[in-house]
Amino acid sequence: MIILGLSGALNHDPSAALLIDGEIVAAAEEERFIRDKHAKNRMPLEAARFCLAHAGVDARQVDLVAFPYAPVSLWSPARWHYAKRYWYAPDRAIDALLNGNRRFRRNRKRVIEAGERLGIDWQRTQFVPVEHHLAHASSAYHLSGFEGKTAILGVDGKGEYATTFFGWGENGRIHKIKEFYDPDSIGGVYGAITEYLGFEMLDGEYKVMGMAPYGDATKYDLSGLMRVTPGGDLEVDTRYVNTVGLRRYKEDGVGFYFSPKLVEWLGPRRQGDVADEPYIHYAASMQALFEEVCLELIEHHLGDIIRDTGRLAFAGGGALNVKLNQRILKLPGLKQLFVQPASGDSGTSLGAATWLAVERGDTVQPMTHVYLGPSYSNAECQAAIEARSEPLEWRRLDDVTGETAALLAAGNPVAWFQGRMEFGPRALGGRSILGCPSSPGIADRINEQIKFRERWRPFCPSILDRVAPDMIQTDHPAPYMTITFDVAENWKDRVPEVVHEDGTARVQIVNVSTHPRYYALLEEMERLTGNGVVLNTSLNRRGEPMVCSPEDALNMFFGSDLQYLVLEDLLVTKVGAGTAGSSGERDARGSAH
């Protein structure tokens, strides 16, 4: 059975995923192809075209299109809860009751139109809507590879109306225990404070998380923004956050998800890039509140299941909060935690497809890697290089990992473009900027001269699997940079450029079977520096999506201070940069290598 998952109902992060007989064949975000971060208000046309082309599937062969957004019955508590809680905006409340599925109808029309542009035959292919939070739940549970009963958690801004999901899975079936509905959203509160702290909601939450360790959570008490009731419900104070209509704070005609009352309480909304007081303390307090509320709700709704089974599968935008995941991993009785690497809404195309696959009788294969996007041959990379007008030098490397490791060990940042592009927000050795984590100042240099981002933002390490037990003192899998770990004291001075302010690191543990060349590079780094570790950040500049093609990589290369770019087997350098072992260099006008 061929199932195409298409996301984009919430007007951001559209993506496509293709399953054939329960196996993930391809998945990609639209932003990577159209070069527009988050691809707002777009449908995943280019991502879907890639998935179909990669699999050699004609659009008319698709059996089912799964879409992670569904109609919600008037008899569901969701629409009534929304209307009751937004009583102060009667137009919103009445609309939820009388016309509560208008967004679904609009999005269904957009999917049908997109399918027609792709060449899908809607007389043959069935369109199947899947509840947004069921898609998140499926993306975690069905792809975890866990056997036996498993607790399932979904923390998000919101889908149709639901914001948070608690449930369990067994024998392939997902069972709901509890859902919360808008405006009672943990992720919504975090997003509102993200906006207050000067970042963009649905993009800057990880910046708040990165800022938090520089502050003191005890200096300001934000606990009044949301609370857990004795019965295990969540209540958000909409006088301050998760606001709509006239209750929203506005600047230059733009409304935010917090109110003027919040500004009266905490002071002016933060501006600029500096991590300063009191905003670092607000970030710390928000992070602490987020963790405590989530952990309290997990205990209330899933604690018994976790202690009974030892397993938890987690998805939704909140699952990208790696500090929360570190604390979840320490819960009593928890032995296995799977965090969907594409936990945000881009991952719902995959989740909708897996949920539908199980419903229709396919056995879904576990997710073992995220290298699900396009790849490019040496010939394609060479053609992209030769099309450039900028002065450059390039050559084919005889020893890709050895020569790249020599550049890194000499203190140079290197752009690393290898194999299939990653699915999800993390660069995991496919589209990365790498550095040597023992080289003083390498993180500041990449932040300031290459990524052009806030200098207080941390960088993460990719490490050999055999290094993990010593460096982060665990043998728990961590292949996707979704969990932070405490770095052992004897490693903090060895790799200081990837240890955050609070002594933790968001680690990618690399396995030879999933990315042999990246593993070999880490082994070379171990040989040269004594540490099987590299600093790894995504290959993009601030405000841009991760690169997809060789052309994208070259654009980023010439738009930054990068001096070295490894495109598959080819090393590109800026004229005058010099290379390790540089004999035999040719410029872009030289003959084919």
Identify the helix (H) or strand (E) that includes residue 79: helix 77-85
Contacts with 45 (C-beta within 8 Å, 6 or more apart), sequence order:
30, 114, 117, 118
Annotated active-site residue in 12, 142, 281, 369 = 12
For 51-107, the pLDDT digits (tens) are 999 999 999 999 999 999 999 999 999 999 999 999 999 999 999 999 999 999 999
- CATH number listed for the domain at residues 181-338: 3.30.420.40
Helix 279-309 to helix 322-329 angle, to the nearest 10 degrees? Answer: 40
Identify the helix (H) or strand (E) that includes residue 338: strand 336-339
Mean pLDDT over 511-521 rounds to 97
Among left, alpha and beta (phi > 0; psi -120 to 50; other), residue 142 is alpha
pLDDT tier for residue 584 given thresholds of 50, 70 and 90: very low
Cα-trace Rg, the chain: 24
Question: DSSP code of 496?
Answer: G
The residues that bridge with 67 in the sheet, in sequence order, are 129
pLDDT tier for residue 579 given thresholds of 50, 70 and 90: low
In 87-215, the DSSP E strands lie at 126-129, 150-155, 162-170, 173-181
Q: Which CATH class is domain 378-587?
A: alpha beta
Mean pLDDT over 486-511 rounds to 97
pLDDT tier for residue 480 given thresholds of 50, 70 and 90: very high
Is 476 a catalytic site residue? Answer: no
Window from 64-68, 409-413, 575-579 with minimum mean pLDDT:
575-579
Mean pLDDT over 332-358 rounds to 98
Question: DSSP code of 147?
Answer: -
Tell me: pLDDT of 591 over 70: no
Tell me: pLDDT of 27 over 90: yes
Burial class for 230, CB neighbours closer than 10 Å (0-12, 13-18, 19+): exposed
The C-alpha angle 372, 339, 290, rounded to 5 degrees, equals 135
Structure tokens at 59: 């659009």
Tell me: pLDDT of 587 over 50: no
- Report the chain's mean pLDDT, rounded to a whole number: 95
> Which residues of the chain are in CATH 3.90.870.20 domains?
378-587
For 291-322, the pLDDT digits (tens) are 999 999 999 999 999 999 999 999 999 999 99
Question: What pLDDT was estimated at residue 454?
Answer: 79
Describe the chain by its helix, strand, coil percentages, rounded to 5: 40, 20, 40
> Which residues of the chain are in CATH 3.30.420.40 domains?
2-145+343-359, 181-338
Report the CATH superfamily, name and number, of domain 2-145+343-359. Answer: ATPase, nucleotide binding domain (3.30.420.40)
Tell me: pLDDT of 504 over 90: yes
Percent of the chain with pLDDT over 70: 97
